[in-house]
Amino acid sequence: MTNLEHSDRSSLLKKYLEEKCTQQEKTIVEKWYLSIGEDIPLADNEIIADMVELQKRLKQLPEAHYHSNRGYIIAIAATILAFIIIGTIVYLLPTNDSHSKHELVMEDIAPGSDKAFLSIDGQPAIALEGKNKGIVSNGAALGYQDGTTIARTENAKTITLSTPAAGQFQAILPDGTKVWLNALSSISYPAAFTGNERHIQLKGEVYLDVAKNAKQPFVIHTDQQRIEVLGTSFNVNSYHDDGRTFTTLVAGSLRVIDTKTKHQVVLSPGQQAIVNGKDFIEVKASGIEDSYAWKDGLYVLHEEPLSQYALKIERWYDVKVDMGIYGDRRFSAIIPRDAKLSEVLQAIELKSNIKFIREGRRITAMK
């Protein structure tokens, strides 16, 4: 499938999920998935793009169709449970399968969901309804995307949207800019953008699709950097897990400034700026799709230390994970964010031989 045009590939994926493929087309899709990690490297950006496309297709399926064909979809894409790619694909079984080699007997922990808190001018936070997934701000009012009004904002100055552990949310800012918040993240922005620039504050991880306005540049502030854009799409990871902030440009151009050293760089699409408090900003080529796959329902890991992946697990499942002596071991995987915790742990166990014990919401790798 890597030799097919992207439009043909997407069309074939859609036909496969809708069970409209001919036997020959079905064979092509299945052979492609089974060859990932053997003949086709995980780092191939086209593969990541296909996985993201497949995840989107799955979300578009009617609920009844999704459930009735769940086993069919798992058998090939494995994007509903989990699959690991290190040389080959390992398909995982549901945790209640009596033939599973390792089974967590405790009650499983579900993945995160759409939930957030909204605060206006420092007032007590309002818990937002997850079923609505996002909010829209038009300067005079804040409301859900279905049109339901949450609060009037004519006299408001600052709006803060934040997500808890195991939470994510979307928002459309007063200028039309679209933002996606990962777990334990927040943005603060004015009820209406005035002046020569549009300023927002950001913490955690946020993907932004900035509305173009050359006369009013968009400026993002984090603890370590200032990002200046005109109209672009990019991902900012400012969790500071290892003291670094990552800004990955998807489209357009932007300037990243280290607020401590005043060093600055201008990024082109496909580049990532790493601010680490040193005398320079590191710039490297980065896979575009895997930088924001989280917002489309996937975690894409390329030789990532397990200690770093553990932090993602903690934020998304609201647990504590201790990888112990295995923290430096590197791990490659494509794992759906809607997988249950037991499935994620089984994925790691199957390919690394690391075993886990769980006590409540604390996970520990066994020596």
CA 113 to each of CA 40, 297, 345: distance values in angstroms, whole numbers, following the listed order: 32, 11, 19
pLDDT in tens, 257-312: 999 999 999 999 999 999 987 778 999 998 777 788 899 888 888 888 999 999 99
Q: Are residues 120 and 177 in the same domain?
A: yes
- Answer with the one of 24, 58, 81 that is the final residue of a domain: 81
Q: Are residues 72 and 119 in the same domain?
A: no
pLDDT in tens, 97-120: 433 334 444 689 999 999 999 999
Task: Tell whether the model's pLDDT for residue 177 goes beyond 70.
Answer: yes
Collapsing DSSP to helix, strand or coil, 201 comes out as: strand
CA 351 to each of CA 51, 84, 101, 109, 345: distance values in angstroms, whole numbers, following the listed order: 20, 8, 13, 21, 10
* Contact between residue 186 and residue 161 where contact means Cβ atoms under 8 Å apart: yes
Q: Are residues 119 and 254 in the same domain?
A: yes
- Note down the domain range covering 165: 113-291
**Residue 263 contacts by C-beta under 8 Å, 6 or more apart in sequence?**
257, 279, 280, 281
Q: Are residues 236 and 142 in the same domain?
A: yes
Q: Are residues 57 and 166 in the same domain?
A: no
* Contact between residue 174 and residue 137 where contact means Cβ atoms under 8 Å apart: yes
CA 304 to each of CA 301, 312, 331, 334: distance values in angstroms, whole numbers, following the listed order: 6, 11, 5, 12
Q: What is the pTM of this model?
A: 0.77
Residue 346 lies in a domain: no
Residue 125 lies in a domain: yes
CA-closest candidate to residue 190, choices 161, 212, 166: 161
Question: In the structure, what pLDDT confidence band is assigned to residue 37 with cuts at 50, 70 and 90?
Answer: very low
Residue 75 lies in a domain: yes
Q: For residue 170, what are its two tokens? A: 């979307």
Domains in the chain: how many in total?
A: 2
Task: Tell whether the model's pLDDT for residue 78 goes beyond 90.
Answer: no
pLDDT in tens, 224-263: 999 999 789 999 999 988 889 999 999 999 999 999 999 9
At 86 the pLDDT is 31
Collapsing DSSP to helix, strand or coil, 54 comes out as: helix
Residue 192 lies in a domain: yes
Task: Tell whether the model's pLDDT for residue 356 goes beyond 90.
Answer: yes
Q: Which residue has the tokens 């009012």?
A: 141
Residue 275 lies in a domain: yes
Q: Are residues 62 and 117 in the same domain?
A: no
Residue 145 lies in a domain: yes
At 362 the pLDDT is 96
Q: Are residues 66 and 211 in the same domain?
A: no
Q: Are residues 125 and 77 in the same domain?
A: no
Q: Are residues 132 and 272 in the same domain?
A: yes
- Answer with the one of 270, 291, 312 that is the final residue of a domain: 291
Task: Tell whether the model's pLDDT for residue 15 goes beyond 60.
Answer: yes
At 113 the pLDDT is 95
CA 348 to each of CA 89, 189, 354: distance values in angstroms, whole numbers, following the listed order: 13, 39, 7
Q: Are residues 70 and 195 in the same domain?
A: no
At 82 the pLDDT is 35
| DSSP assignment letter at 211 | P
Residue 279 lies in a domain: yes
Residue 45 lies in a domain: yes
Q: Are residues 59 and 187 in the same domain?
A: no
Q: Are residues 175 and 231 in the same domain?
A: yes
Output the domain CATH number for residue 141. 2.60.120.1440
* Contact between residue 296 and residue 51 where contact means Cβ atoms under 8 Å apart: no
- Answer with the one of 40, 63, 81 that is the final residue of a domain: 81
